[in-house]
Chain A
Amino acid sequence: MKCIVYCILVLLSFITITSCNSDGDSCDPDLICTTVSIDSNWVNLSITEQLSGVPIALYNGNLEDNLIVLRDTLYGDSYDYYLPTGIRYTAEAYYRSGPNIIIAVDSKKLTTESFTNCDDTCYESDEITLDLVLIE
Chain B
Amino acid sequence: MIRVFCFLIFSLYNTVPYAQELDSADTTKTKFKLNIVPTISAGIHVNLQDFYLDFGAGAFEPKSKIGAQLSCSFRPFYKKVQIHQQANIIRQWKEKKYLVSVDLYKRILKFHLSQSLNSSFLAGAKSGYLFGDYLGTRERPKAGLTINPFLGFSIWLNGMNLDVTYLLFNDRLASVPNSRLMFALNIPIIP
On whether the beta carbons of B160 and A4 are closer than 8 Å, the reply is yes
List chain B residues, Cβ under 8 A from A97: 90
Question: Chain A's nearest CB lies how many Å from the CB of B119?
Answer: 19
Asked whether any CB of chain B lies closer than 8 Å to the CB of A1, the reply is yes
On whether the beta carbons of B136 and A100 are closer than 8 Å, the reply is no
A92's nearest neighbour on chain B, judged by CB, is B136
On whether the beta carbons of A135 and B80 are closer than 8 Å, the reply is yes
Pick the interface stretch among B13-21, B55-63, B91-99: B91-99
On whether the beta carbons of B134 and A105 are closer than 8 Å, the reply is yes
Asked whether any CB of chain B lies closer than 8 Å to the CB of A85, the reply is no
Cβ-defined partner of B135 (8 Å) among A3, A99, A100, A105: A105
Complex interface bits, B84-108 against A, C-beta within 8 A gives 1, otherwise 0: 0100111111100000000000000
Which residues of A from 96 to 127 have beta carbons under 8 Å from B? 97, 99-108
A100, B80: Cα distance in complex, Å: 18
Cβ-defined partner of A107 (8 Å) among B90, B135, B175, B190: B135
Question: Chain B's nearest CB lies how many Å from the CB of A74?
Answer: 16
Asked whether any CB of chain B lies closer than 8 Å to the CB of A23, the reply is no
Asked whether any CB of chain B lies closer than 8 Å to the CB of A68, the reply is no
Question: Chain A's nearest CB lies how many Å from the CB of B82?
Answer: 6
On whether the beta carbons of B136 and A90 are closer than 8 Å, the reply is yes
Question: Chain B's nearest CB lies how many Å from the CB of A2?
Answer: 9
On whether the beta carbons of A64 and B82 are closer than 8 Å, the reply is no
Known: A1-B159, A135-B175. A62 touches B137 (CB 8 A): yes
List chain A residues, Cβ under 8 A from B159: 1, 3-4
Report the 8 A-B pairs with minimum CB-CB distance, sorted nearest first.
A107-B136, A90-B136, A104-B92, A107-B135, A102-B90, A63-B137, A105-B136, A100-B88
Show the binding face of A for B, using Cβ within 8 Å: 1, 3-4, 59, 62-64, 90-91, 97, 99-108, 131-132, 134-135
Show the binding face of B for A, using Cβ within 8 Å: 80-82, 85, 88-94, 134-138, 159-160, 175, 187, 190
Contacts A4-B159, A62-B138, A106-B136 aside, 17 further interface pairs with beta carbons under 8 A come to: A62-B136, A63-B137, A90-B137, A91-B136, A99-B88, A100-B88, A100-B89, A101-B88, A101-B90, A102-B82, A102-B91, A102-B92, A103-B85, A107-B135, A131-B94, A135-B80, A135-B92
| Contacts A/B (CB < 8 Å), 21 sampled | A59-B136, A62-B136, A62-B137, A62-B138, A63-B137, A90-B136, A90-B137, A100-B88, A100-B90, A101-B88, A101-B90, A102-B91, A103-B89, A103-B92, A104-B92, A105-B94, A106-B136, A107-B94, A131-B80, A135-B81, A135-B92
